[in-house]
Structure 1
Amino acid sequence: MNREIYVTPKQYRIIALLVEKREISIDELAKELSTKREDLMRDLAELEHKGLLRVERYRVPEHVLTDTGKRYIEKGLPEEQVYSFVDKCCGVPVDLFLKCVEEYGVLSSDAYIGLQYLVKSSCLGVDNGKLYVKNRAFCVDVINKAREIRQLVLDLVSGKKISEDIISLARRRQIIETREKSLFKVTVVSSLLEAWHAGLIKEKELITIVKPEIALELDKYLIKEFDLTVELPNIPISKKHPFMQFIDELREIMVSMGFEEVKGPHVEAEFWNFDVLFQAQDHPAREIHDTFYLKTTLTAQVDPTLLEVAKRVHEKGWGYTWSPARALRLVLRSQTTAVSARALSERGGGEYRVFTIDRNFRPESLDAKHSMEFYQLDGVIVGKNVTFKHLLYFFKEFTAALGLREIWFKPGYFPFTEPSVEGYVKHPKLGWIEVFPGGMFRPEVMEMLGCSGYKAAAWGIG
């Protein structure tokens, strides 16, 4: 190599340090140059491309504290925590001793483990079913050993070397976990040494834009060239809307809680949207759902047996002449409970949980709480022993999964559930919003769906 090589001032400092040390880790190099390691990667890549150095990647084990380990470092190992309250809690049966220790703030799992270590070391003993201090000297030994382990673990995670026995012990006690850490080292190559000693390495200021005022002095600068061989990054042409991401999150929560998703049509029969839910055709309750009716002569197809059962239940329960023709008219689905009803009719009695999350349509006035088209999360829990308490518990677990804290319930009314409930959550700007209407499907509904003898907790969140 007998031609001059131009590098930036920063790259020149890298080369000078590398020539001196011959080999250096990137972390050490960054420290020597008072910069961040990530700020060196581009310069190292350019120098490696010029054949002046070699960057090598290697892996080393790294020991880090687990969540349990962090708790032990802060509060002490379980035996230390438990021993702190021995004098206050001893002299009682084991279960009462553990309860006493827990009342002082020790986790139940830590209390149990700590007691095991203290008994195993003969610090504590059991006589006539009651705990007592067996040997104070042994207690001191086990506590000193615990403190020593804590200090050695701190030394380990800070990078110091300790014995493999202590490392194995810390792993067994779930104080640490070992991961692989990727490191990089930079090695000098012979061509760089030759060029350096021959005085061929020169530094110039790097510029990326040639301005008119320096056009006559370009020899003073190192001009960064465009690399047209570099592939352009892929730019996503679209991404999912935040609301749809939220819908997916709801779906994942329901599946994680053991529910199976079911689907239904947007254009629905009045039978599934109203009648099978025991909403009388001539009752004012039918007006609860303002509905989009289809202007068409087409009608739905429903099993005649289901129509016969619905006619008998409606006429017996409401005392009017039920019209199958009206039940077969088509509407835009106004509630996803129609999908739940279809699912129960198809599956019949049994023990299962299903949900659906999809669009509904109502002629609403658009505001912060209402829309003509909206999503609803509807579901049912079916079984012989399902109760209203199961429904309330589901609401609480579901809101907890969403990170909601302020929630309250009040009695509600819906034509197809009894008892019924309305659940509210607190919005920071809109105030209390009803989002959890639900209840237990009435026996009449379960009969029309072919699930007599079973109970169903149902809801329509929207």
Structure 2
Amino acid sequence: MSNNELVLPQEEFEIIKALISTQAVSVDDLSAKLGIDANSLMRSIAELESMGLLKIDKKIRRYIELTDEGKKYLELGLPEVRLARVLLSCNCKPSINDIPNIAKGLNINISITEVNYAVSALTRLGMVRVARGIIEIVNGDKLVEVSNRQAILDAVRNPIAEDEISQEHRSIIQEFMRRGIVKVRERSIIILSATDKAQDLFMRGLIKSSTVITALTPELIRSGTWRNMVIKRFDLSIPPPQAPIITKHFFAEFLRFVKEVFVSLGFEEAYGPHVELEFWNFDALFQAQDHPAREIHDTYFLKYPSSGKILDNELMNRVSQTHENGWITGSRGWGYKWDPNRAVRLVLRTQTTSVSVRTLYKRGDGEYRVFTIDRVFRPEVLDPKHSMEFHQADGIVVGENLSFKHLLGILEALARGMGLRKVMFKPAYFPFTSPSAEGYAYHEKLGWIEFVGSGIFRPEVVMPLGIKRSRVLAFGMGLDRIAMVLMNIEDIRDLFSKDLSSIKNYWLNFSRFINNISKS
């Protein structure tokens, strides 16, 4: 063998041979060409680079891929496609609330929340119009555009590079992204090319292949065949792959941090059940039994069991009278016949305020500050800003001579403690507080995001619970949205991401946030 010859293992030789015939190629394309798994190639690629035979370049490429919701719509059809099928099949002008039942009769599955999104989409396309809750087709020819949306979704069944999407389809893909049907995933693409050295040696026939062995056996030594083989060298300069660092989840740590902020301001923590009576979730908060928020499209109802019980009949009577005629609160009430059977129906709680009213009933008058942090549940459509399950912090401050200024002061102190540097408040309406205010925090990309609703509990709330002398300042915060603001997260679903690289990045954001808080 000539001193100038370079003998390579067969796999490394095939890599150089493939690169000589092309200008540059990605690892994935090279893997497909050679029929070798890309991960298996990486060791050979690293060795060839260390020998100066191969050059590696990296670039980031964005790919569009389906979310879990997108995969569901790929199977069932987009909500607007299903709604169009229902309207064309029934040849009717139904009300929005009747559509799920009509669709069921046509073997089409569509929920009321999906109907609302679909109506909005078909209205924008000019296919339907809505008047007084009645939907009517005004342009059936638009069905082609509706079907085209489903075809575009089908086109991203497998991830597709963002720069390969046609210009005419980009606006629809952008809408799908806003709705959480597709998402962007960045991939690091490794591009390989042969160096001038490799080109020169290969063209002169000085690069050859041979069998690779990793150990000298007695058989190889006795036969002398080891002389015609390449003994695999161990290159200790090549770093081994790093195992992921095990750490606590960034969102769990954020919730713990928020609890510490509350405790530092003199609050104590309270707890309550996820499965709640309508009484504590709605009635005790002076929310009328015919309020839209208590309908099935805004609340999860339990089937088995479907109801519970209230043991304090006097409490039930006070709340009943407050709803019907105002009792002794100075209010006229809602003026309807209150139904005790509805009050004991079981729901997944829609707000942690139910814990606050339970606490008021248990502790009564006095001076105390109580908070709770836990999950609540609402039938929302999953998108970058909304989820059907999210975390809420609820707080009450009880005492005599408290005012609305005290409430805003407490909220500002909480905001500062949680690192919200830019907040504002504006008047609002809630059924159980007066006066009321909403608080907003600023996100660099999402703009102003509502993060707290607040107010002073009305007499119709506190008096039936046994509060006679004290005022109660109350507020509820959407902690998922606050986390998005503080950790620069654009999609609420990323709070529960399983992607290790995303979790690592958000943990770094959380760590920087904590460090900045410590320095300020």
TM score, norm. by length of structure 1: 0.50
Look at both structures and tell me which one has the larger radius of gyration over its CA atoms. Answer: 1
The TM-score with structure 2 as length reference comes to: 0.45
